[in-house]
Amino acid sequence: MSPTNAVVVKWAVKVANWSPSTEEFKAALSEIQTDEHEKVLKFMLPVDRKRALVGRLLAKRLILHFFPDQRWDQVRLSRTEYQKPFWAPGLQMSPAFHFNYSHHGDWVVISGHLGGPIGVDVTNTICPSNTTVEAYLGDFKSFFSTREWQKIRAGNPSEATLMHRFACHWCLKESYTKALGVGLGLDFWKVEFLYDGLLSLDEPLQSRISVYVNGALQPGWIFELGSVDATHPVCVAYSGSEGVDAASRSPSPFVVKDICDLLS
Ligand SMILES: CC(C)(COP(=O)(O)OP(=O)(O)OC[C@H]1O[C@@H](n2cnc3c(N)ncnc32)[C@H](O)[C@@H]1OP(=O)(O)O)[C@@H](O)C(=O)NCCC(=O)NCCS
């Protein structure tokens, strides 16, 4: 096993650009392990099936990126008791390899990390058509602290900015939750994200983001908040990296992959 030296790798696929025929979809499905087929096919909507399949293909391709001496047809994902996928080939790995993927809206994103847990979340900023922005945000009132809502609502923002800030905060919470791997086991209102300045549609955040749980700072976490396009913020949360203290304030962008890059 010979991992590459990369610390955090970030890839994205715009599933909205992929319109496979039934045969093409079946061929792509045959590239993933059979016990995951049912999880992909359980979705009624083709777009959900595409997102689920592309996530699994991305995971396989990312594993081969980090471990090029592995064989495509022998890479198998396992799941924790909370359903977080991981890769455990039965060999001692040092440093430990972690990955996570997320699918929402037009995109599927994945991040991989050598050295510590990682979580990623992409969320689109479109308010559902059957509600208003205020009613929609109201449904999530208890998910964020008073200080987080002040950051989201500061300066009488436009609805677009409001939805963008809300989606960014959602990505922060989800990426951290997903890095921990606990899913619904975490009380989201106990987790608070603080930073200097405000999130804007036009400029990336210039300050470092910190996470607090029950008011206590959780040291060593890096949050790379960015976007894959104008309506899809994305956040990568990771810890345990040697580069944590020197982490850049401008996160590296996601590398956009084509579906062809993912197949064997
Ligand atoms: C999986 C979970 C952690 C995130 O789901 P989500 O944001 O709806 O969906 P995403 O597309 O970002 O992520 C789904 C992927 O995460 C991975 N995943 C599943 N369980 C996971 C877990 N416990 N931890 C980390 N990743 C997990 C899987 O790869 C899954 O995709 P797959 O089922 O196609 O393999 C979800 O089960 C959950 O518990 N969400 C929390 C719900 C909530 O109320 N959040 C409030 C945030 S403010």
Contact 66, 97 (CB under 8 A): yes
Q: Encoding tokens for residue 206?
A: 């210039």
Our answer on whether the CB atom of 62 is closer than 6 Å to any ligand 1 atom is no
What is the structure's pLDDT at 250? 67
Whole-number Cα distances in Å, 229 to 12, 103, 163, 237: 11, 14, 14, 19
**Residue ID of nearest Cα to ligand 1 atom 33:** 52
The answer for residues whose C-beta is within 8 angstroms of residue 214's C-beta and 6 or more apart is 190
What element of type H or E holds 54? helix 46-66
* DSSP β-bridge partners for residue 86: 78
State phi, psi for 133 to the nearest 5 degrees.
-60, -45
Could you tell which of 81, 177, 228 is best to mutate to test the pocket of ligand 1, judged by most ligand atoms within 8 Å of the CB? 177
What is the structure's pLDDT at 249? 53
> Distance from the CA of 183 to the center of ligand 1, in angstroms?
6
| Tokens 């890095």, located at residue | 179
Calpha distance 41→36 (Å, rounded): 9
Our answer on whether the CB atom of 100 is closer than 6 Å to any ligand 1 atom is yes
Q: What is the CATH number of domain 8-16+79-262?
A: 3.90.470.20
Which atom of ligand 1 is least distant from the CA of 180? 24
Our answer on whether the CB atom of 84 is closer than 6 Å to any ligand 1 atom is yes
pLDDT tens for the chain, 264 residues: list them: 444 445 799 999 999 999 999 999 999 999 999 999 999 999 999 999 999 999 999 999 999 999 999 999 999 999 999 999 999 876 555 558 999 999 999 999 999 998 899 999 999 999 999 999 999 999 999 999 999 999 999 999 999 999 999 999 999 999 999 999 987 777 888 999 999 999 999 988 989 999 999 999 999 999 999 999 999 999 999 998 655 444 555 678 999 999 999 997
What is the structure's pLDDT at 86? 93
What is the structure's pLDDT at 188? 83
Calpha distance 230→124 (Å, rounded): 9
Residue by residue, DSSP assigns 89-144 as -SS--SS-EEEEEEEETTEEEEEEEESS-EEEEE---PPPTTS-HHHHHHTTGGGS
Contact 32, 56 (CB under 8 A): yes
What is the structure's pLDDT at 53? 98
Per domain, the residue ranges of the chain are 8-16+79-262
> Distance from the CA of 205 to the center of ligand 1, in angstroms?
25
Whole-number Cα distances in Å, 133 to 55, 136, 142, 151: 29, 5, 16, 16
What is the structure's pLDDT at 73? 92
What is the structure's pLDDT at 92? 55
